Copies of this chain bind each other. A is one copy, B any other.
Amino acid sequence: MDFVASVVTGVATLTQVMEDGRTQTVGLLFPSDFVGRPGRDAAPYNVIATTDVMMCCFRKKPFEELMARTPHIGQRLLEMTLDELDAAREWMLLLGRKTAREKIASLLAIVARRDASLQGQVRQRQVTFDLPLTREAMADYLGLTLETVSRQISALKREGIIELAGKRTVNVPDLDRLIEEAADDADGGMPG
């Protein structure tokens, strides 16, 4: 990796793989998210596009020089890294302590929110969005198997908490109800 980048459109995942193949996704990359680590040569992660992705790339060397000349950029990068750290730690709580159902609900709520905020929408009761991940990719992010993901999604559908149009398009009739299922305190850990 001799460049850094910013996601413009599409969604990618940041994943870690063990020798025996067990896979854990450690981050989702949405539009506006930053990829790469100035000052570090190697990233121990795989970046995998889960939809068509457009990224805005910078060679690392010139970018670092720019950073050195412009302290503001370094500050901004620290801000973003702190946000990523918060997100990672919230995910640790999910991975360590939430049930399968809570995990699914949390993921759906997060995607719903990121999707809504991309479209500049405010908080609404009813939301529709496209899942940018396969069941397997969701499983790798949630620390589950794809079968468990499928079953829990089916359960949420049966109970009317979500509705599916095709496999990927999700409609949430009552976002608050979904967030309850996620067992997050207050606002689900999202800023704002």
Contact = CB atoms under 8 A, between A and B. Distances in A.
A56 interface: no
A97 interface: yes
A79 to B, nearest CB: 7
Per assembly, the copies of the chain total 2
Interface in A13-59: 14, 16, 18-20, 22-24, 26-27, 37, 39-40, 44-45
Contacts of A86: 44
Nearest to A143: B96
A65 interface: no
Contacts of A96: 24, 95, 142-143
Contact of A81 (B26, B45, B71, B85): B85
A79 B37 CA distance: 10
A52 B20 CA distance: 40
Contacts of A85: 81, 84-85, 88
A135 to B, nearest CB: 16
Interface string A95-124: 111100000000000000000000000000
B89 A27 contact: yes
A183 interface: yes
Contacts of A89: 14, 16, 26-27, 45, 88
A89 B20 CA distance: 18
A2 to B, nearest CB: 17
A92 B26 contact: yes
A39 B185 contact: no
Q: Which of A74, A75, A81, A92 has the most CB of B within 10 A?
A: A92
B37 A97 contact: no
A54 B19 CA distance: 40
A155 interface: no
B74 A18 contact: no
A144 to B, nearest CB: 8
